């Protein structure tokens, strides 16, 4: 459904900023019917890539095909296959839910019985059926996001692009929105590409593409990415991390990775974590502030790839 080859995007220098490469020779494929999360910290290039996929920016180099159509040479045909949920609200908050949906349908020439059928279909997953007469301005953030997604579904797209759609939502509402999105994707056999810097939102995706500094660091299923670190890992914290890490390596011959005040034994043989934990406590209890066995998450994969947490990379990218 999406085929990106050798894509590069460079923002030219201005009086205030130097030239910056936002996307660096990136190639990525999203198969039809897949739910793909494009993740990474602020400044990783996600938003630049999203703008190009929507046809809002033109890349410096490379090619993109959407459902077989060349996005750069035949943009109208490519855009006809997709619908977009932007990070910033794209509904009129002074209009009612029904008025927003009708306005969008009118723009696409969807009228009469066809509109009624599509509206029922698009509303089926929502909590909006009894709120159609209410202005969007008085809805909660979660319901307002439902209006935006419902609006997009009216056109029955094959590809749905979403740019940080859960921004500003509380954790429970964010989880409910992502769960509903998965149900819609499976029910309609949609292809979904969603950007998110929240790694927990990517745990149930078919594929996760992780970007940093314009480059693609990883692209695989969540299970495969987590599997790079094994089924479990030992993580300990200490105020003497550098010295303790050196002793663990010398005394026990274990491969470690240090991050801040954490020492991680990421490549522990599966099922062998508890004996290692006990051995560490036996030898270094006085120097260990905390120690735990945990299952790797996608956040841990990011730390493994970059040596940073997403929060640290966000702060770095925002400078």
* Mean pLDDT rounded to a whole number for the chain: 91
Q: Is 231 helix (H, G, I), strand (E, B) or coil?
A: coil
Percentage above 90 pLDDT, the chain: 71
Residue intervals in the chain for CATH 3.30.70 = 230-295
Residue intervals in the chain for CATH 3.40.50.300 = 2-226
CA 121 vs CA 69, 75, 83, 303: distances in Å: 27, 28, 16, 42
315 pLDDT band, cuts 50/70/90, is low
Instruction: Provide the pLDDT for residue 280.
Output: 93
Q: Do strands 257-259 and 35-39 pair parallel, antiparallel, or not at all (unpaired)? A: unpaired
CATH 3.20.20 at 230-295, yes or no: no
Query: Is residue 199 over pLDDT 60?
Result: yes
The pLDDT of 69-88, averaged and rounded, is 94
Assign a CATH topology to domain 2-226.
Answer: Rossmann fold (3.40.50)
Query: Is residue 198 over pLDDT 90?
Result: no
Lowest-confidence region among 45-49, 64-68, 102-106: 45-49
Q: Please, which residues bridge with residue 37 across strands?
A: 194, 208
Query: Is residue 313 over pLDDT 70?
Result: no
pTM: 0.85
Query: Is residue 247 over pLDDT 90?
Result: yes
């Amino acid at each position: 459904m999406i085929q990106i080859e050798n894509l590069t995007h460079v923002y030219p220098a201005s009086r205030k900023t130097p030239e910056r490469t936002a996307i660096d020779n990136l190639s990525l494929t999203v198969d039809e019917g897949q739910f793909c999360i494009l993740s990474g910290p602020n400044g990783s290039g996600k938003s630049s890539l999203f703008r190009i996929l929507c046809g809002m920016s033109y890349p410096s180099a490379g090619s993109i095909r959407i459902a077989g159509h060349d996005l750069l040479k035949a943009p109208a045909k490519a855009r006809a296959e997709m619908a977009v949920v932007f990070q910033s609200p794209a509904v009129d908050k002074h209009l009612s839910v029904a008025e927003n949906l009708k306005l969008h349908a009118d723009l696409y020439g969807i009228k009469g019985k066809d509109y009624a059928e599509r509206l029922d279909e698009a509303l089926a997953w929502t909590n909006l059926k009894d709120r159609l007469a209410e202005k969007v301005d008085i809805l909660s953030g979660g319901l307002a996001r439902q209006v935006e997604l419902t609006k997009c579904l009216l056109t029955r797209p094959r590809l749905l692009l979403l740019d940080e759609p859960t921004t500003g939502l509380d954790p429970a509402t964010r989880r409910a929105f992502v769960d509903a999105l998965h149900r819609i994707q499976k029910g309609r056999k949609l292809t979904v590409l969603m950007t998110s810097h929240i790694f927990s939102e990517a745990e149930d995706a078919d594929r996760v593409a992780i970007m940093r500094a314009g480059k693609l660091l990883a692209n695989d299923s969540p299970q495969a990415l987590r599997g790079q670190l094994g089924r479990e890992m030992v993580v300990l914290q200490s105020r003497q991390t550098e010295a303790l890490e050196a002793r663990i390596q010398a005394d026990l011959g274990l491969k470690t990775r240090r991050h801040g005040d954490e020492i991680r034994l990421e490549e522990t043989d599966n099922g062998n974590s508890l004996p290692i934990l006990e051995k560490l406590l036996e030898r270094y209890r006085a120097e260990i502030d905390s120690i735990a066995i945990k299952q790797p998450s996608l956040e841990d994969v990011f730390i493994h790839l970059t040596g940073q947490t997403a929060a640290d990379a966000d702060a770095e990218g925002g400078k």
